[in-house]
Chain A
Amino acid sequence: MSTIKPNYTRPLDIKNGRVDMSHGSGGRAMAQLISELFAAAFDNEYLAQGNDGATLPAANGRLVMATDSHVVSPLFFAGGDIGCLSVHGTINDVAVMGAQPLYLSASFILEEGFLLADLKRIVESMALASREAGVPVVTGDTKVVEQGKGDGVFITTTGVGVVREGVNLSGDQAKPGDKILLSGTIGDHGMAILSQREGLTFSAPIVSDTAALHDLIAAMLDSGAQLRVLRDPTRGGLATTLNEIAKQSGVGMMLHESAIAVNQPVEAACEFLGLDPLYVANEGKLIAICAPADAQTLLEVMRAHPLAREAAIIGEVQEDAHGFVQMTTKLGGRRVVDWLAGEQLPRIC
């Protein structure tokens, strides 16, 4: 009879423990971190295969794949944290292509010394976001870098989805005459991060709008409206995203400042810090460009969804050889709404 005693592994000390170099070494410590923290939280049949990669069923249709790295600072902010943000961000990138998001991968770069309790909070927030969205994290990776070489945790997620039959959304599809719709207020995510970073407090706190938009997008696709472009205005904000579309489609745009909603605390914080909400990041908003005849129908469908109650038609696509995105101001003047120059807010997502 064997005299080898059964292995006893002391469970991870989530309460007081910290990430150390052994958690990225490929040895037992890493295996333990993965099984007790990541696998326990993300738990699904693909991850449970326990292989180097996940084997997935064949997909029916054109595939979309998108990837997004998250380096936000602070890691925890009003309305979310780097965990749920990394799930929402990638789901949205897949969904705005007109695809149903199916699977995610998650890759973590951890800094030596990072609190396991914080890591657990982040991973559980990711797991919750992924469950709520119905998009499982099916494979992942963990690396550890020495103290001072990272900033707590960086997360890269990749998403795969299948495009709906007959849907063809692309930034180059906008045509003169099309209407531009926006799903709600702008600048909430960026200002939530920045006001926390700068220690600004307002009577009503600024809450990030981070959210997964695939359900809203599914409803929009169901409406039968002739959609040309969908995009989520994240870094660089509404202004930069519209400029990207104008360039891709070779068109100009005319926006109406009075139609673009900004929450009051966001407006106040922007005013205080000298920022323009048009350039501030969003994480739960989308821009839709559609044929003019369908704009009203689409608007009603959007407003019926909890994530787009404040949706509005904010402008029109127009012919313009220079590709200028312009705006009629509340004062009755006109101006260009240019690309963001330089860096407005670093480390926002």
Chain B
Amino acid sequence: MKYVDEFRDGELAKNIAANIAREAAPNRTYRLMEFCGGHTHAISRYGLVDLLPASVRMIHGPGCPVCVLPIGRVDQAIRLAREQGVILCTYADTVRVPASDNLSLMRAKAKGADVRMIYSTQDALKIARDNPEREVVFLAIGFETTTPPTAVAVKQAAAEGLKNFSILCDHVLTPAAMHAILAVEGGVALDGFVGPAHVSTVIGSKPYEPFADDYGKPVVIAGFEPLDVMQAILMLVRQINEGRAAVENEFTRAVTREGNLKAQELVAEVFEVRDTFEWRGLGSVPHSALKLRPKYAAFDAELKFNVDYVAVPDNKACECAAILRGQKRPQECKIFGTVCTPENPVGSCMVSSEGACAAHYSYGRFRETA
């Protein structure tokens, strides 16, 4: 298939793999974090680990929108749907995220809540238009990639005077999460980042410069295709070998330094940064999420329905927190693959195929048999 096969070429992959193997020093470890779930998925789906030398170790980062959603945020949505009778719309994987009382949005739906899976914010607006007598709430999750469409929806609703539409805003910010990972006391065992693909098309490569300049960690922005990831790994190995720390861009076909200014303006017009936001795994991270500006308060479901956020601790046995910070591997969690499986996820990393645990469970378990 045109524009796809070129980025999945096995021969080219072998060439890059040979370069990585030749250039990676065997007497050290290259601990590279792919921040995004999209990269985690590509690495697992194409078995890229088999193409890497033992000295290169990939660490799965927290860049999976549903994985970082804390229980309390899902509870909020469930309360809205069950107690206030709203039509709750959200993106598909979100409905499977475990919440309190052994519920998830999917289980709440089975108990009678009106939960709808949508593909686009436009679907949520349509549901609101088609059901003028009902309140429609869009549970808006995701990093900078999914934020502009939410901004468009809110502006559209305002322009149309759509009074029965509001959003529960859980949009989060990538650079803030990377700061949280790096700002651990005593330093963190990471040598570099494979930087986000789609997120970077929106925010550009500039916001990553502090990670190279202040923390001395190389960042290579990469597309989500397997060859993109391989090339980015090679570029990271080279930077590390040369003792450099810079932001480099492998994904030049889509990412510029400045990013998508129009999308950025749109987001800035509709949203402002929250003082703090709780992430699953990372805890409370300052300036790491967005909320609606006062101008759009009428569309803020938290205000409209007066649903407060109540923090809920994760399951004690669940290691999602350490896994999301890159401190543990999925198979090091006691409940991985036993009580926590993709069918019955306990932790959020087991929900989406972009989550570190689900990716390892679905694609990589054979490695543990060797």
Give the distance in Å from the alpha carbon of A264 to the alpha carbon of B3 in the complex.
13
Is B369 on the interface with A (CB-CB < 8 A)?
yes
Interface string of B288-316 (1 = CB under 8 A from A): 00000000000000000000000000000
B120 → chain A closest CB, angstroms:
10
Interface string of A294-336 (1 = CB under 8 A from B): 0000000000000000000000000010101010111111111
Which residues of B lie under 8 Å from residue A1 when comparing CB positions?
none
Q: Which of B305-358 contact A (CB under 8 A)?
A: 341-343, 353, 358
Given known pairs A322-B369, A342-B343, the reply for A331 and B363 (CB within 8 Å) is: no
Q: Is the CB of B342 within 8 A of A341?
A: yes
Q: Which residue of the partner chain B has the closest CB to A342?
A: B96
What size tier do the contact residues of chain B reach?
20 to 34
Is B49 on the interface with A (CB-CB < 8 A)?
yes
Which residues of A lie under 8 Å from residue B179 when comparing CB positions?
none
Given known pairs A268-B1, A324-B366, A338-B361, the reply for A331 and B10 (CB within 8 Å) is: yes
Which residues of B lie under 8 Å from residue A268 when comparing CB positions?
1
Q: Which residue of the partner chain A has the closest CB to B226?
A: A331
B49 → chain A closest CB, angstroms:
7
Is A267 on the interface with B (CB-CB < 8 A)?
yes
Which residues of A lie under 8 Å from residue B365 when comparing CB positions?
322, 324, 336
Q: Is the CB of B1 within 8 A of A267?
A: yes
Given known pairs A271-B4, A342-B96, the reply for A335 and B342 (CB within 8 Å) is: no
Which residues of B lie under 8 Å from residue A45 when comparing CB positions?
none
- Please pick, from A271, A276, A336, A341, the residue contacting B366 in the complex, using a CB distance under 8 A: A336
Which residues of B lie under 8 Å from residue A332 when comparing CB positions?
10, 13-14, 17, 47, 50-51
Is B44 on the interface with A (CB-CB < 8 A)?
yes
Q: Which of B1-23 contact A (CB under 8 A)?
A: 1, 4, 8, 10, 13-14, 17
Q: Is the CB of B47 within 8 A of A331?
A: yes
Give the distance in Å from the alpha carbon of A276 to the alpha carbon of B17 in the complex.
25
Q: Which residue of the partner chain B has the closest CB to A271?
A: B4
Given known pairs A268-B1, A333-B47, the reply for A326 and B366 (CB within 8 Å) is: yes
Q: Is the CB of A330 within 8 A of B10?
A: yes
Is B103 on the interface with A (CB-CB < 8 A)?
no
Q: Which residue of the partner chain B has the closest CB to A334?
A: B47
Which residues of A lie under 8 Å from residue B1 when comparing CB positions?
264, 267-268, 271
Interface string of A125-144 (1 = CB under 8 A from B): 00000000000000000000
Is B46 on the interface with A (CB-CB < 8 A)?
yes
Give the distance in Å from the alpha carbon of A320 to the alpha carbon of B370 in the complex.
11
Is A222 on the interface with B (CB-CB < 8 A)?
no
Which residues of B lie under 8 Å from residue A338 when comparing CB positions?
342, 361-363
Give the distance in Å from the alpha carbon of A339 to the alpha carbon of B341 in the complex.
11
Identify 7 residue pairs between A and B in the complex whose beta-carbon atoms are under 8 Å apart, listed by A's number. Answer: A331-B46, A333-B48, A334-B366, A335-B44, A335-B45, A335-B46, A341-B358
A residues with CB within 8 A of B: 198, 264, 267-268, 271, 276, 320, 322, 324, 326, 328-336, 338, 341-342
